[in-house]
Structure 1
Amino acid sequence: MRPSRRLEQLSWPELQRAAGRPSSTVIWPFGAFEQHGPQLPLGTDALFAERLAAAVLERLGQDGADPPIWSLPCWSFGFSPEHRGFPGTLSLPAELLIAQVVALGGQLAAAGFRRLVLFNGHGGQIALLQVAARQLRAAYPELAVLPLFLWSGPEGVAELIPEPERSQGLHAGLAETSLMLHLAPELVGPQRPVDGLLPEPPPPGWSLEGAVPQAWLTADLSRSGVVGDARGADAALGERLFEQLVAGWTRLFSDLLASAWPPVSSGSPWLQS
């Protein structure tokens, strides 16, 4: 019988042994509960984070391997104020999400785990989870904390999306609709909106996101909730995206588990202030 990779399925002695292993690592998938246009479910980001994390753990455990990595249940409520103009969005205050990460992450550190990966599927809380990770790291310097965005890291993912959708499809467009058609086609509605395109280009060098971004709200751009073009979405593209993401994250986590990265220095007094 293969060992479970889900922490909630372990007994407390099993969890204690897991935490005590060298390089013990926990993945905590993060999603959101927010509108994704008329064609995608409210839990899109959470479904992606959970399915990808599970697939990566499955591959890491192939051929009888027993790597020191486990997952928490996905946290499905996030920081989504940009989508509150649409029914169905449930958004937590920033300070509550940060406090949750610090509280539960601190207990994982106390149990003996060495790394915590915040595996985030919602682009609107990337910066917030980076702040939470830094606060957790300062409070528990013995715990390495890695705030990741599931769409960033593996190579070759962006190249599967053609321009202009690659740079302009920010929400519920081609990529997300295609990935959902692969993972859970029964949850995808028939609409394929084209919406959220800027009525006029920004000044040179400026953009909605990127090096010189702005704090945009979805209702500023879109009536449907989509920011992008979902017309070309299909399950075949979704399958290619999923495979590229899983393969890339599997390589990255395999290299991480074989290393001592990132370094921690729990004895440094300035980290404990």
Structure 2
Amino acid sequence: MTGHRRRFDQLAWPEIQERAHGDGSTLIWPFGACEQHGPHLPLVTDALFAERIAEAVLAELNPELPIWRLPTQVIGFSPEHQSFPGTLSLSSDLLIALVVQLGEQLAGMGWRRLVLFNAHGGQIALLQVAARELRQRCPAMAVLPCFLWSGVEGLADLLPADELENGLHAGLAETSLMLHQAPELVGDQRPKDGLPGVDGCPVPPSGWSLEGAAPSAWLMQDLSRSGVIGDSGAASAELGQALEQRLVVHWTARFQALLTSDWPAVEKAADRTSAS
């Protein structure tokens, strides 16, 4: 069960019926965005990363494990980038409704788990809200919202501390990963922009930051003329390959653990809810 046989949309309906009702049946739904990524990266950056890492992970997993991939959601929630041409954004209500409505249909087919595999940092919290709303409506299906870069071991060995903390968009990591995965889509510029205290970029007060424990609802035009937050100057395909390896190893282990367990025990939770 390799290649297209992992693709939900390339199966026939009897195959869907059989797989959905199998033990631990799981779908991974890649999420990205269609938004500016500086003058050197394509609008599809986040969606491309989500899809290609998901594909690489599926190729590493035992083909007998019950997991399939939905088509990638390419347009997401990106209002912070709409001052730059090319950015397309769904409203928050529309994205939540999309997840809930399609999720309800998938639950109705019998799927046991739905993993929202997201590579756009601007919709992490929104997809968590959508997941909770969907789970409330479909208590027999587990919903797991994930962020591509979250919790990945070994990134600090590859990226400088400043870039790990402040390289939020189209900086060293994303430029390098794109140089490895799709170099034909990368332009020649290597911007350094949007960093606190650099070229007039505002410095947050002590204890506050763009993202983290005390974040701010920033808009890109507040911080950057180029649409970049970070320093892409040292980006390379070699670094991108190393980053991809870390991502694939991390998520392969996470999905292996999930697919060989009965967690989350949603059926027992649903039974308790019905009994009460």
Shorter chain as denominator, the TM-score bin is over 0.9
For residues 251-266 of structure 1, the aligned pairs below 5 Å read 251-264=253-266, 265-266=269-270
5+ residue gaps, structure 1: none
2:12 corresponding residue in structure 1: 11
2:55 corresponding residue in structure 1: 54
Per-residue Cα deviation, 1:35-57 (whole angstroms, up to 9, x for no partner): 00000000000000000000000
Number of residue pairs the alignment of both structures matches = 269
1:168 corresponding residue in structure 2: 166
TM-score by length of 1: 0.95
Say which of 112, 118, 121 aligns to 2:119. 121
Distance, in Å, in 1 between the alignment partners of 2:212 and 2:157 is 17
1:217 corresponding residue in structure 2: 219
The CA deviation at 1:198 is: 2.0
For residues 1-273 of structure 1, the aligned pairs below 5 Å read 2=2, 4-61=5-62, 65-199=63-197, 200-264=202-266, 265-269=269-273
The CA deviation at 1:116 is: 0.1
Distance, in Å, in 2 between the alignment partners of 1:153 and 1:6 is 27
Distance, in Å, in 2 between the alignment partners of 1:140 and 1:25 is 15
Query: Deviation above 4 Å: which 4+ runs of structure 1?
Result: none
Distance, in Å, in 1 between the alignment partners of 2:45 and 2:275 is 37
Per-residue Cα deviation, 1:166-199 (whole angstroms, up to 9, x for no partner): 1110100000000000000000000000111123
Distance, in Å, in 2 between the alignment partners of 1:268 and 1:158 is 43
3-state SS, counterpart of residue 102 of structure 1? helix
3-state SS, counterpart of residue 85 of structure 1? coil
Per the alignment, do residues 2 and 183 of structure 1 end up closer, same or farther by CA in structure 2, a change over 3 Å counting? closer
TM-score by length of 2: 0.94
The CA deviation at 1:271 is: 11
The answer to whether the Cα contact below 8 Å between 1:34 and 1:43 also exists between their aligned partners in 2 is: yes
Distance, in Å, in 2 between the alignment partners of 1:127 and 1:88 is 23
The CA deviation at 1:154 is: 2.8
Pairwise CA RMSD: 1.5
Letter in 1 for 2:21: G
3-state SS, counterpart of residue 119 of structure 1? strand
Letter in 2 for 1:148: C
Distance, in Å, in 2 between the alignment partners of 1:79 and 1:149 is 14
